[in-house]
Amino acid sequence: MATATAKAAEDATTVTHAARIEHVSKSFRAPGTPGGQQLVLDDITLDVAPGEFVTLLGASGCGKSTLLNLVAGLDLPSAGSISTDGRPALMFQEHALFPWLTAGKNIELALKLRGVAKQERQQEAERLLELVRLQGAYRKRVHELSGGMRQRVALARALAQDSRLLLMDEPFAALDAITRDVLHDELTRIWRETGLSVLFVTHNVREAVRLAQRVVLLSSRPGRIAREWTIGIPQPRRIEDSAVAELSVEITEELRGEIRRHGQH
């Protein structure tokens, strides 16, 4: 049986991109504004390569989550096109678990929707719980889980969709610093083990630098790609590493500049 890394390498020879965003713009109705429309995203072009980890960074309201929703297919662009390698899996800041189901049954629901046979679902749910290091949590109810554990279950449920592209919208923002730090390690491990492509939205510069192979900075509204950084710091990284801190300072200055430019408009 091929390993996940070998499979990802094999897929990479046949798939040119996990996500391709070409000249995408998005406007929303905004009564009282000129033309009755507000431009949120403007001419975004971005590729995510197979197996690549990309973070989208920018000030609040710059359109990061809007872009992620477009890639997920939850909304349509006003202009441009988006294509993905299969249907993406999406993970939000809120775990969105069903409280009347156990951790295992929450994951099994995703497996059922995927078409996995009933007799196979529990074994696969337990395998995914083990992958996120929640062995033995299959029968635990949501109220019995800590915030970090709930996000692990939510991650396992996203992985249950068997997608090659994982979209993550600030999934750790509500967690305390120590739990977030642990889950950074876990996400990095899972990404490396599975060969998934990840598009991760955050407003936390150090989180972006710690996790990603590439950081994409969006300007303030309307969101445009202001600058990109390829991160050459070896994994695993620590959020307190000097190289992470140094690059975070550089990116933060760029982010502040974008916020200042927006304030002058």
Q: Mapping DSSP to helix (H, G, I), strand (E, B) and coil, where does residue 71 land? A: helix
Domain 4-88+166-263 class, CATH top level: alpha beta
Q: Where in the chain is the domain with CATH 3.40.50.300?
A: 4-88+166-263
Chain CA centroid to CA 20, Å: 15
For the stretch 92-139, pLDDT in tens is 877 789 999 999 999 999 999 999 999 999 999 999 999 999 999 999
Please give the Cα distance from 262 to 265 (Å, whole number). 5
pTM over 0.85: yes
DSSP for residue 25: E
Strands ordered across the beta sheet of 225-230? 89-91, 165-169, 197-202, 53-57, 214-218, 225-230
Chain CA centroid to CA 185, Å: 15
pLDDT band at 14 (very low <50, low <70, confident <90, very high): low
Please give the Cα distance from 36 to 161 (Å, whole number). 38
Task: Name which of 155, 169, 167 is nearest 21 in CA terms.
Answer: 167
Contact 42, 62 (CB under 8 A): no
pLDDT band at 263 (very low <50, low <70, confident <90, very high): low
For the stretch 50-84, pLDDT in tens is 999 999 998 888 899 999 999 999 999 999 999 99
Per DSSP (E only), the strands in the chain are 19-29, 37-48, 53-57, 79-84, 89-91, 165-169, 197-202, 214-218, 225-230
For the stretch 138-162, pLDDT in tens is 999 999 999 899 999 999 999 999 8
Please give the Cα distance from 185 to 170 (Å, whole number). 16
By the 10 Å C-beta count (0-12 exposed, 13-18 middle, 19+ buried), 155 is classed as buried
How many CB atoms sit inside 10 A of residue 208's CB?
28
pLDDT at 12: 44
Q: What angle do CA 159, 164, 166 make, to 5 degrees?
A: 60
194 residue type, one letter: T
CA 108 to each of CA 64, 125, 131, 143: distance values in angstroms, whole numbers, following the listed order: 30, 6, 15, 18
pLDDT at 3: 46
pLDDT at 96: 84
